[in-house]
Structure 1
């Protein structure tokens, strides 16, 4: 398992360097490594360090955050479909950002685009998470009060549909220019990624990683039944709220940085679980797979396809078939049992 994790880390590093190397003027990988270690000409240092490194680092941070967020929610809710983008968190963040982008007119290209939209995305994601949690609160079949995984997933899917409809309504009411600007953001593009987008994404990802890794044993206990978890001394509702809150913040900040990047939080933990052959969704493996998916999609969008596609379009093209695969597997297990 350690060898597979190390191999995933190497793949993520290679893709990270490729993400810096590709562009209008391609650079050899050796030259990229030379610049990153302090060498290269002034022009090469500008291209690598100022132009492309912030974008690659943002893609890396977004992938790690989404991978960790998906691993936390899927582990706690015991459902492979329980990812932030399926539960409506990403849609809540998107609705907040689109509200700012289409409601500011021409100002949407200035301060509102660089600060207002990301901040509104963060607030939208947090408010959506609070609403879903409150609506999912109730009594379980055993009479215990709290939040159950199935109820939260079902309510999240319903909220997601409502928020998606709200986004569509806002786009129909917006001017053509504002609708185009909002649609570009909704596609999950890294084209505008810079140091201003990188800083909050890096901070949120670091905090999320510290909370997740520091709570690894608690998370493993929460994967067990409620009685076993309580016997281990874990305060279920409190720990669930803390971990889900950290996952929501990580996913919301990642969405605020580049727009919604679909299916990474859903697919990353499931791929990691199958590669590492673990009983639950592995945190480090999920983070690495998330990074590989986002950075790899950014490389593919510029090096494989004839046009520069938004990274969200590439991940959606991969995630759609993977979601069908998960649904088929879940249906087969239900049929067998």
Structure 2
């Protein structure tokens, strides 16, 4: 089969690989649609993550079951399925303790293009199929369902971990795809005011479509001053950091009121430390909670996210700015990596 791989740090391209084989409880899926994630480009640039040559990239996919292991009960070849970006080992101690995304060690529920080949190939392997696959309803097309794999799951997690009170105030720092879905999640969780922090006009526009009541452009005004103005000097109940930058994280701490929550969903891929501003943190005593997490995966999570699509709670296709075939993957990856042409999300069809 054809696979799109990281040939070495900084270099990508196609190679041929054998079609994977399922273990007794596993499945092999024929890929039909995938999305390029910023973390894919971070992997290739040498940020935190694997360094293996010829590692197949990608972790956001839907497809059709090609083959299942002898012990798989609920899925058969021909089923159209969604696969979460995170495919935990559900029997692990971490999963039993309530943290399946960390099964096998920190972030090790994140297997695709991390500790095994990813999904940018004609076929890919899924561990524990009954627990990590979800059937896609006939009413949902592949190009829509694929957003559940990561963007929905991660973005909504930002709101879920944010302890948002009904009618509360929320700031979402950065309106990339995950930030946009955090904005949607904040509205779904009952926020009364959602403030989007973003400088790119197209992203500002789409963020408003997704429910941002106010937009603060950090290139034109002081974010802390403006957020305090919008919240009558109090700060927000919840600040969702959706970028993964030290400066943005510090801003999140500064704009959160005492007793509020900083919910981090950003991927900090460079630097040795992330800093907490001491005074605005109340010198460690302001009851500001810092919540972190890795994109939740698993069948139940994916089924719930598909239900939001089935009942038209959100339309993710506003984020699809570019579409390429798998044969055009090198150009597609360049567009995503270099952020060309006002790209937001790149869809790959197989």
- With the length of structure 2 as denominator, give the TM-score of the two structures: 0.29
Structure with more contact order per residue of length (Cα contacts < 8 Å, sep ≥ 6): 1
